[in-house]
């Protein structure tokens, strides 16, 4: 019999077509922007640097193919810090927000480092992007593929799960802290953890100050491809990538699946009064659903803007992102926040057979994953019992909070974690309308 011994260099991974990709002799940077007239790469030596150590101009003739800008920079290695910068039309009334002074987060960045820095010149300095090598020794780890009907899902806030001293964790409030509490999860009979948002979201406000009301829950995405730096024990740029993978591998070894709560319905850039941090400064008219000729943002999320998920470019980004988490982080499933927004077209109208919803269910690279919808949005769409077709499950709202009493007697002490029993999600209308 052939004995299989997986080698790290030969294990399957998913290479993104955009962002920063590591090669033997350097790094390739690839960005989409249809309306940009110039593109620059800002390189930094240290996470605390306010100004770049080097600025590299893209050649509009040599480094642009269609609407894609791409340049290879020899000698760069994983850990390199960078921003993007783009010139283009500034006409907010028509939805164009280019600013040649803005430091921009790469929409496909695989990690961020630092926080927004304080400013005296009016220039927003957001967290820096980190060049990441996807290589990791998974030791043969694969998706568990447990049927949803056999699952007991524990909804978890990574920081809240171990932050309190009563957890006894050596690494409280971190991905490593979750690893320490795996025996506790096993004692509950948990078969999967559903992590509340772990993609990047702001820690400080855009001017580097501690906000009056800090974002604890994470439902305000800054970048979809990057695990949140605030949950890493090490503060080394990019360390969160390795620590997150170590957490997933350890949970899998214990037979526990990992489901992510993903927020593809809006970003932290807000409406026309919000900051230019990433998407706005690269192609605002594509990334967001706009109205009034582009002057205003449609707000189906209740958070100021709506990500334009059914635009082909945005649809592609969402697919690359899901595949990235599934194959580079071995994620077992997703719970889609305000999933009904995925059913809206580029003008905000609800579609009977939304292509994005169907494609997620049919994508062969996501076939091993669970897909769960929060089947409504903040603008009146309510699709509970009728969301999607093949494979889609839904949150069963009537019983969502019922297991709380089973899981904890004191919500503040348990830091808002709860056990979600199998009856809280469903794949059929009879189960949705029946009693538990």
Question: 338-350, pLDDT tens digit by residue?
Answer: 999 999 999 999 9
The pLDDT of residue 402 is above 90: no
- In 3D space, the residue among 234, 23, 207 whose CA is nearest the CA of residue 118 turns out to be 207
What pLDDT shows up at residue 8?
Answer: 53
pLDDT grade, residue 415 (50/70/90)?
very low
The pLDDT of residue 22 is above 50: yes
What pLDDT shows up at residue 4?
Answer: 56
What domains appear along the chain, each with residue ranges and CATH number? 8-130 (2.60.40.10), 148-433 (3.20.20.80)
H or E segment to which residue 19 belongs:
strand 19-23
How remote is the C-alpha of 195 from its chain's centroid? Answer: 12
Of residues 374, 377, 389, 394, which has the active-site annotation? 374
Q: Which of 7-21, 116-130, 280-294 has the lowest mean pLDDT?
A: 7-21
Strands 393-395 and 370-373, by their bridges, are parallel
The pLDDT of residue 423 is above 90: no
Q: Are 179 and 256 in contact (CB under 8 A)?
A: no
Mean pLDDT across the stretch 294-308? Answer: 98
d(C-alpha 108, C-alpha 18), whole Å: 6
d(C-alpha 171, C-alpha 165), whole Å: 10
What pLDDT shows up at residue 21?
Answer: 98
What pLDDT shows up at residue 3?
Answer: 56
pLDDT grade, residue 414 (50/70/90)?
very low
pLDDT grade, residue 46 (50/70/90)?
very high
Mean pLDDT across the stretch 234-261? Answer: 98
Where does residue 114 fall: left (phi above 0), alpha (psi -120 to 50 degrees), or beta otherwise?
left
- In 3D space, the residue among 90, 91, 108 whose CA is nearest the CA of residue 18 turns out to be 108
What pLDDT shows up at residue 395?
Answer: 82
pLDDT, tens digit (0-9, with 9 covering 90-100), for 185-228 = 999 999 999 999 999 999 999 999 999 988 999 999 999 999 99
The pLDDT of residue 55 is above 70: yes
What pLDDT shows up at residue 101?
Answer: 97
Which token pair is 379? 């603008």
- In 3D space, the residue among 435, 428, 430, 417 whose CA is nearest the CA of residue 160 turns out to be 417
What pLDDT shows up at residue 388?
Answer: 86
Q: Are 56 and 41 in contact (CB under 8 A)?
A: yes
The pLDDT of residue 428 is above 60: no
Where does residue 334 fall: left (phi above 0), alpha (psi -120 to 50 degrees), or beta otherwise?
beta
Q: In the predicted model, what is the mean pLDDT of the chain? A: 90
What pLDDT shows up at residue 128?
Answer: 98
Q: Is 428 exposed, middle or buried (0-12, 13-18, 19+ CB in 10 A)?
A: exposed
Active site residue 337: yes
pLDDT grade, residue 409 (50/70/90)?
very low
Of residues 106, 243, 332, 337, which has the active-site annotation? 337
What pLDDT shows up at residue 418?
Answer: 47
% of the chain at pLDDT higher than 90: 85
Mean pLDDT across the stretch 344-362? Answer: 95
Backbone angles phi, psi at 313, to 5 degrees: -70, -45
What pLDDT shows up at residue 155?
Answer: 96
Active site residue 374: yes
What pLDDT shows up at residue 416?
Answer: 39
pLDDT grade, residue 389 (50/70/90)?
confident
């Amino acid at each position: 019999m052939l004995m299989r011994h997986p080698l790290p260099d030969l294990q399957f991974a998913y290479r993104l077509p955009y962002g920063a990709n590591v090669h033997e002799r350097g790094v390739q940077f690839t960005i989409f922007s249809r309306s940009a007239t110039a593109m620059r790469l800002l390189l930094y030596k240290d996470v605390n640097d306010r100004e770049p150590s080097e600025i590299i101009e893209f050649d509009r003739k040599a480094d642009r193919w269609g609407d894609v800008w791409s340049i290879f920079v020899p000698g760069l290695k994983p850990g390199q810090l960078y921003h993007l910068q783009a010139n283009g039309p500034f006409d907010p009334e028509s939805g164009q927000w280019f600013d040649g002074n803005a430091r921009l987060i790469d929409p496909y960045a695989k990690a961020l480092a630092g926080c927004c820095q304080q400013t005296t010149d009016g220039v927003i300095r957001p967290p820096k992007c980190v060049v990441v090598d996807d290589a990791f020794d998974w030791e043969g780890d694969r998706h568990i593929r447990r049927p949803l009907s056999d699952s007991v899902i524990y909804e978890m806030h990574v920081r809240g799960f171990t932050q309190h001293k009563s957890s006894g964790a050596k690494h409280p409030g971190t991905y490593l802290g979750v690893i320490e509490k795996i025996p506790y999860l096993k004692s509950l009979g948990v078969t999967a953890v559903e992590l509340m948002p772990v993609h990047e979201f702001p820690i400080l406000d855009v001017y580097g100050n501690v906000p009056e009301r800090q974002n604890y829950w994470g439902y305000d995405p800054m970048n979809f491809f990057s695990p949140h730096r605030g949950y890493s024990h090490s503060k080394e740029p990019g360390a969160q990538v390795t620590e997150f993978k170590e957490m997933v591998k350890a949970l899998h070894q214990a037979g526990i699946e990992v489901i992510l709560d993903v927020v593809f319905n809006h970003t932290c850039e807000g409406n026309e009064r919000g900051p230019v941090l990433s998407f706005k400064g690269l192609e605002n008219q594509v990334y967001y659903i706009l109205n009034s000729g582009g002057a205003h943002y449609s707000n189906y999320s209740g958070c100021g803007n709506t990500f334009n998920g059914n635009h082909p470019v945005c649809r592609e980004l969402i697919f690359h992102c899901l595949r990235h988490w599934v194959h580079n982080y071995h994620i077992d499933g997703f719970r889609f926040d305000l999933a009904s927004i995925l059913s809206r077209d580029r003008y905000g109208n609800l579609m009977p057979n939304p292509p994005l919803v169907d494609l997620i269910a049919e994508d062969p690279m996501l076939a091993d994953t669970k897909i769960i919808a929060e089947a409504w949005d903040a603008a009146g769409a309510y699709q509970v019992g009728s969301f999607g077709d093949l494979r889609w499950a839904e949150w069963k709202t009537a019983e969502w909070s019922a297991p709380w009493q089973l899981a904890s007697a004191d919500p503040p002490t348990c830091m808002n974690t709860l056990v979600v029993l199998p009856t809280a999600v469903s794949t059929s209308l009879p189960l949705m309308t029946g009693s538990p």
